Chains A and B, each alone.
Chain A
Amino acid sequence: MLSAHGLACDRGDRRLFSAVDLSVSPGEWLQVEGANGAGKTSLLRMLAGLSPAADGHIEWEGQPIGEARDDYHARLLYLGHAPAIKEDLSALENLQTAAAVAGRPLDEATAIAALRRIGLKGREDLPARVLSQGQKRRVALARLLCSQARLWILDEPFVALDVAAVTQLCGILDEHLARGGMLIFTSHQAVQLAGSGTTLKLSAATPPRAGAEAREVAA
């Protein structure tokens, strides 16, 4: 179970959000919503342990993620804004390297099966350079099929996907949740997922200048 209390995020002098509480239990999903620049990506990066929170703390199975970092990362799959696809490598090579770096090397047959299932049949050996935007996203999403991670944190997983791919991805996410997995994602579109879940709406509640506000109160 992942839980966070009182999270806050600063960008430069501005506080993007503060006092964010959340928790995700096995089989649950959490959708993070918010306008552009509300700090959705920042929140996901914080939850993944990529950047420190300006305030608050995040716990995985009751332990702060900073303390159980390796254990946490072994159980986490994070797909960021940038899909981590190398243009010069083929889809297969991309998938295999990514899996090896994540500590779970894939044999070729499994990798090819995953790529075929995600709709890249016959394109396994093409360099990612010649694939379309949506196809590149699919290469990244193929990692989900091979993943044993308990917690998935996905930043805009539906972006650049066609209708069929969106349905397929929903199926993959449902399977993950049915297995007792946890899911945190951002999306601009409404998504129908099985299992129970919540939506977290991020909004900038704090004015840009904390000092100015404090003086206003005093006056």
Chain B
Amino acid sequence: MNAFIAIVRRDLLLAARRKSEVFTALFFFMIVVSLFPLGIGPETAMLRRIAPGVLWVAALLAAMLSLNRLFAADHQDGTLEQMSLSPTPLAVLVSGKVLAHWLTAGLPLVLLAPVIGLQFDLSARALGVLMISLLLGTPVLSLVGAIGAALTLGVRGGGVLLSLLVLPLYIPALIFGAGAVEADVAGLGAGGHLSLLGALLALGVFFAPWAATAALRIALE
């Protein structure tokens, strides 16, 4: 447990020393979202309809931006070797890294989304549902992304490959996440979507660190 906390603390500390990387992803999210009204037109009815999908797709891409670096630096400077030699199971340490990734790449998106959502004329209720759906969904993105990041570690053209591997696996999270907001806007109630999103999260917490660890061991050999 100590080692888990140490890993989370270290990664947060590193992110704090390299603030620009966190902010780049956030600005990317803001810019991508703002491009849609420019490309589609400013009618509020239309914007309200596309808002959930646009915000979710943008969040998904923004969360992917930093995945490349999730294990790459640790692999290069030998930290990953030390982690795998720790008496603490590697899967626990990997979970720590995923948690830190979510805290620096996912949580800021959750907090920023309602502000950006205002551009799309979403109601306060819908913004609330959007926040909850992102709160449940962005950890799934970090978890599944960790598998992809571990698999593409040290592989030629890893960046593009990572998106190729990970994006199809993001689809359920996208569907339930954006669906929750849409259902709420349509007055259908978002409960079903949100509980499915929660189920995905539970499944991810259970399986993803294990799969990512198996992939990391391959890269370490």
Contact = CB atoms under 8 A, between A and B. Distances in A.
Real binding pair: yes
A80 B81 CA distance: 8
Given A70-B87, A73-B86, A83-B78, A105 B10 contact: no
B165 interface: no
B203 interface: no
A73 B87 contact: yes
A97 interface: yes
B17 A101 contact: no
A76 B86 CA distance: 9
Given A51-B221, A82-B78, A100 B2 contact: yes
Contacts of B5: 100
B14 interface: yes
A85 interface: yes
A101 B83 contact: yes
B85 interface: yes
Contacts, number: 83
A103 B13 contact: no
A99 B100 CA distance: 19
A165 to B, nearest CB: 20
Given A70-B87, A83-B77, A86-B14, A98 B220 contact: no
B136 to A, nearest CB: 30
A52 B83 CA distance: 17
B123 interface: no
A100 B81 contact: no
Contacts of A73: 85-87
A160 to B, nearest CB: 15
Given A51-B220, A51-B221, A73-B85, A101 B14 contact: no
Interface string A74-85: 101010111111
A85 B7 CA distance: 14
Contact of B10 (A81, A97, A103): A97
Contacts of B17: 88-89, 127
Contacts of B2: 100, 103, 105
Nearest to A52: B221
A93 interface: yes
A84 B74 CA distance: 8
Nearest to B221: A51
Interface residues of A, number: 30
Contacts of A100: 2-3, 5-6
B221 A74 contact: no
A11 B77 CA distance: 22
B79 interface: yes
A87 B78 CA distance: 12
A97 to B, nearest CB: 5
B76 A101 contact: no
A84 B87 contact: no
Contacts of A212: none
B85 A50 contact: yes
Contacts of A48: 85
Contacts of A78: 81-82, 85
A101 B5 CA distance: 9
Contact of B78 (A49, A51, A80, A88): A80
Contacts of A210: none
A64 B84 CA distance: 18
3 closest A-B pairs by CB: A82-B78, A100-B6, A84-B78
Interface of B: 2-3, 5-7, 9-10, 13-14, 17-18, 73, 76-79, 81-89, 93, 220-221
6 contacts: A73-B87, A86-B14, A89-B14, A98-B82, A101-B3, A127-B17
Given A70-B87, A86-B79, A101-B82, 20 more contacts: A50-B81, A50-B220, A76-B85, A78-B81, A80-B81, A81-B78, A84-B79, A84-B82, A88-B14, A89-B14, A89-B17, A93-B10, A100-B3, A101-B3, A101-B7, A101-B93, A102-B82, A103-B86, A105-B2, A127-B17
